[in-house]
Chain A
Amino acid sequence: MTAPAISVTGLTKRFGARTVVDGVTLSVAKGEIMGFLGPNGSGKTTTIRMMCGLLEPDGGEGRVLGHDIRHERRAIKRKVGYMTQRFSFYEDLTIAENLNFVAGLYGMKPARKAVRDTLADLGLTARRDQLAGSLSGGWKQRLALAACIMHKPDLLMLDEPTAGVDPKARREFWDEIHALADGGLTVLVSTHYMDEAERCHRIAYISFGHLIAQGKVPQVVRDAGLTTMIITGPKTAEAARLLKGALGVDQVAPFGATLHVVGTDAELLKKTVEKVARDTGNAAADSETSLEDVFIQLMGESEDTPT
């Protein structure tokens, strides 16, 4: 195996007295697509910024593409494509002008051709002279993504690249990401979408600055040790009311006409759910635990962690 594309240990960042990222240790192999998940404000953006040299870590160290994240920032910047969470291209420049700017900064030759190809890939050739600020939110995302892939980086760090993007464009985006990863590109992508997490080779879950779970999706689900049951029938709403806060029940979530009930103690859960189902005239059955169930569980557990 070759050296990992990202390898950081004990990465820590403080803003004032608050520790926003606390001892994050993460390793991403070359050609791997790593999903980066966690609730709002958990420190995803901050971690990514430290890894691409935009923030000075207060603790820890690491290498990105073989370069030290503290001392070799310039080398990292040349080889990494970073897509910011918030649109940060120039709204008062046209699409083509923005792409030209990026091509110029990376010293791409011939820049004109790269820009032309990118515009064609995006299907934006006809709108090349439109101001970037006048694009819709989803199109801004697509422009930003195209711009950070343009210089053929070895590593992509994408901070919620598909927020506000329609399903078809999202599917195209993920197809493209997988195609690029097959070609050896490494991708670290933060997201709040479960379906996207499931398309990653591996995922890492961060909460209140602590990395609390990582691995392949089935493994993360298995490690969580949760049991899930579903209740179907005419009176799921009443069952939900009874189950909320009941013994052994951690989560109750309606999915259409069915009710997902999740708990850590399999025995206890089964007993409670079956009793409630009987009492309300519904049917109970075993089910698969989903990644979403795991995340909701993780979020709930770490809520007590003081910040």
Chain B
Amino acid sequence: MSRFFSFTRLAALLVKESIQMRRDRVTFAMMIGVPLLQLMLFGFAINTDPKGLPAALVAPTQDRFTRAMISALELTGYYRFVAPDASAPLAEEMIARGDVAFVVTVPSDFGRRIERGDRARILIEADATDPSVASGAISTLSTVAASALRREAGLDATAPPGNGIDITVHRRYNPEGITQYNIVPGLLGVILQLTMVMMTAMALIRETERGTMENLLSMPATPLEIMLGKVVPYFAVGAVQVAVVLVSAKLVFDVPFVGAVHVVLAGIFVFVLALVILGYLISTVSRTQMQAMQLTFFFFLPSLLLSGFMFPYRGMPPWAQVLGEIFPLTHFLRLIRSVMLKGADATTVAGSFSALTLFAIGLALLALLRFRRTLD
């Protein structure tokens, strides 16, 4: 047999490796299960041509014209009127919070003007923060609405638009459809998430693997102290990252910063806190660095895809949206986009803020519960 290659040696190595793999149950399960799971998940969830986007209707007089237009819009499949009878301030709040992607405003004299043959006008506002949400739906919007109204008014449906009815489309928050506006604040969340969770996840494992855990546990430190001792330094690292990304968002991408800085910072604060605690929790449930790494990625990929970072959140099927709610990133993206790009105030984003706080507290309790005080 050759000096450089021997099947016997190779076989021995393969046997050894497969035994080790089998012994490491978690790793094995992850290697098999995770790709499969993610394939299924993303295959169904991701939709770059989102349908059924939530919309609000502001129409003080709900006449037949309004109804005709709504049903025509819903027939396209792009819109779903979740608030068919909203007041103007409510609609404004909903679009700022991201609950709806569109607001259709029909003035109260709209029907009368059409019947009189005067020029009538409706306003359609689209949340263009994420340009991909807006584009497909907006392109069908004007034509569908216009032809429906004209048919209802008895006008020639094939007549050129603008003949009697004006439809004004406002691309709100991001009128030019610049993708960076949407991506950059989101990127802040994603970068924070990857590094924070990953680094903290290694924290406790390193102690165990290097044997320093025995010493640490033999000294009088409580689980909470140990947790904070691990979590806080990474939290500080997170603060530096935040500064870097925010400054570059401003300088490099010229992302508008309409909201209050303190609301943004408070949001980032809770988010990073939730992340480092999540990392620490991973650290308490894993036995090796490899396991921690895999758990991190197991968490990272779906959160990337289901949080609204890569694909429009409102464009996903309802079950995927529900799933998306379990990721802190989802709430953070909602918060930071609302505040940075739409100028939402603290009360508007209170929901996302409390969700993040709950994550931080819940994860911390879980981590404390999971912490092994002995070497068993």
Residues of B within 8 A of A205 (CB): none
B350-370, CB under 8 A of A: which get 1 and which 0?
000000000000000000000
Q: Mark A252-285, 1 if CB is under 8 A from B, else 0.
A: 0000000000000000000000000000000000
Find the B residue at minimum CB distance from A77. Answer: B220
Q: How far is A187 from B222 in the complex, measured between Cα atoms in Å?
A: 25
Bound CA–CA A40/B225 (angstroms): 35
| CA A87 to CA B214, docked complex, whole Å | 10
Encode contact with A along B197-221: 1 for CB under 8 Å, 0 otherwise: 0000000000000111111011111
Chain B residues lying within 8 Å of A78, measured Cβ to Cβ, are 220
Measured between beta carbons, the chain B residues less than 8 angstroms from A55 are 374-376
In contact, B218 and A106 (Cβ under 8 angstroms): no
Q: A residues 104-139 with Cβ under 8 Å of B?
A: 105-106
Q: Render A95-108 as a binary contact track against B, CB cut-off 8 A, 1 for contact.
A: 00000001001100
Shortest distance in angstroms between B203's beta carbon and chain A's nearest beta carbon? 13
Among candidates A56, A84, A90, A91, residue contacting B374 with C-beta atoms closer than 8 Å: A56
| B219 close to A102 (CB less than 8 A) | yes
Q: Which of A29-37, A46-54, A227-235 contacts B (4 or more CB under 8 A)?
A: A46-54
Assess the A49–B210 pair: CB atoms within 8 A. Answer: no
| Cross-chain contact of B220 among A49, A90, A91, A105 (Cβ < 8 A) | A105
B22 at the interface (CB under 8 A from A): no
Of all chain B residues, which has the CB nearest A81? B218
A108–chain B nearest beta-carbon distance, Å = 11
Q: Is B373 an interface residue (CB 8 A)?
A: yes
With most chain A CB atoms within 10 A of its CB, the pick from B212, B215, B217 is: B215
Is A73 interfacial (CB-CB < 8 Å)? yes
How many Å lie between the Cα of A55 and that of B218 in the bound state?
Answer: 10
Q: Given the complex, which residues of A lie within 8 Å of B215, measured CB to CB?
A: 82, 84, 88-89
The reply to whether B218 and A84 form a contact with Cβ atoms under 8 Å apart is yes
Task: Check: A74 CB closer than 8 A to any chain B CB.
Answer: yes
B212 nearest in chain A by CB position: A88
Known interface pairs A77-B220, A84-B215; 12 further A-B residue pairs with C-beta atoms within 8 A, sorted by A's residue number: A52-B218, A53-B218, A54-B214, A55-B374, A55-B375, A55-B376, A56-B374, A80-B218, A87-B211, A88-B215, A90-B212, A91-B210
Residues in A lying within 8 Å of B, measured CB to CB? 49, 52-56, 73-74, 77-78, 80, 82, 84, 86-91, 102, 105-106
27 A-B residue contacts at CB 8 Å? Answer: A49-B375, A53-B218, A54-B217, A54-B218, A54-B375, A55-B375, A56-B374, A73-B373, A74-B222, A77-B218, A77-B219, A77-B220, A82-B215, A82-B218, A84-B214, A86-B211, A86-B214, A87-B211, A88-B212, A88-B213, A89-B212, A89-B215, A91-B210, A102-B219, A105-B220, A106-B219, A106-B220
